[in-house]
Amino acid sequence: MENQQDNNTDVKDANHNSGWEREILEKVALAAVTEQRTARRWSNFFKILMFAYLITVGAMAFYPTFSKGISSSDGEHTAIIDILGVIAESEAANAESIIDGLRDALKDEKTKGVILNINSPGGSPVQSAYVYAEIRRLKEKHPDIPIYAVVSDICASGGYYIAAAADKIYVNQSSMIGSIGVIMNGFGFVNVMEKLGVDRRLLIAGEHKALMDPFSPVKQEETVHMQALLNEVHQQFIDAVKAGRGDRLVETKDMFSGLVWTGSQGIKIGLADDFGSVDSVAREIIGTKKKLNFTPEERLIDKIAGKLGASFGHALGSAVNSFSMR
């Protein structure tokens, strides 16, 4: 009898233990299923997020982001074109971008006037000449729409080349303008190499292929040749300024020497016309309260290509002289 009772007790204990273990296993299984479902939800969420990101990047890469407020359905406006920083093909202030903005602005029927918002130390003479020529052409095509240049901190060299094409140039008293000149610079390391005992081994096909090589002695005929090139580009710059400014210029012996002047001095010698800011010129000269920026924004794919190109160009150009209107 006692043995039977003991057996019954053992069975009850076994059943109790088995139920407890089953309950634990069920909870663990349920937790695993819940965790898998949660992980699946997060996985789907991140997949959707990544897909949306790729769509956005693709759109930014292959479609240009147009300028702020391009719609002009609510009245006349002043169109703003930014020319900020160095003027170069690989920079934001490049001829293609500036010209595209100008053309878009002048195509807009509600554009009452255009302001070139300039804050630039200069840059490529070629890029500057492209913009200058296009401004002159567009002025002939749209004679009723004025194009004004407004200078903030600096409008020098290539920046002034562009400004000279405008109908009028407005400055701040402390603006820096001018620097009508061309520069080519570099370094010479011949003596340093001799002191270090470095032997220069240069192979060329063409007598002047290593023109102005910084590790070779200067050749007089090459210096004369390059100076003639600089003089020619300088004269092109001078002619452009004279054509753009006309009889407003009060020519001095230093005007085309590469010197810069303050805005106040520039007005006195005819390099600028009057004082003004983007806001005041839009409001008081052009006569609009609304301003729309037509400067095209660079596409992402172009930015990436530009960075790669700039890196390659920097490596390639480290051994040659720079040639610019700065």
Tokens of 60: 């930014």
d(CA 163, CA 151): 9
Residue-level pLDDT at 310: 46
Is residue 117 classed as helix, strand or coil in its secondary structure?
Answer: strand
Measured between its terminal Cα atoms, the distance across the chain in Å is 114
**Containing H/E element for 292?**
strand 291-293
d(CA 74, CA 288): 12
DSSP letter at 284 equals I
Residue 242 burial class via C-beta count within 10 angstroms: exposed 0-12, middle 13-18, buried 19 and up: middle
Q: Is the pTM of this model over 0.85?
A: no
Residue-level pLDDT at 315: 45
Contact yes or no for 287/279 (Cβ under 8 A): no
The residue with tokens 């401004």 is 135
pLDDT tens-digit readout, 88-119? 999 999 999 999 999 999 999 999 999 999 99
Q: Which residues of the chain have pLDDT under 50?
A: 2, 11, 57, 61-73, 299-301, 303, 305, 307-322
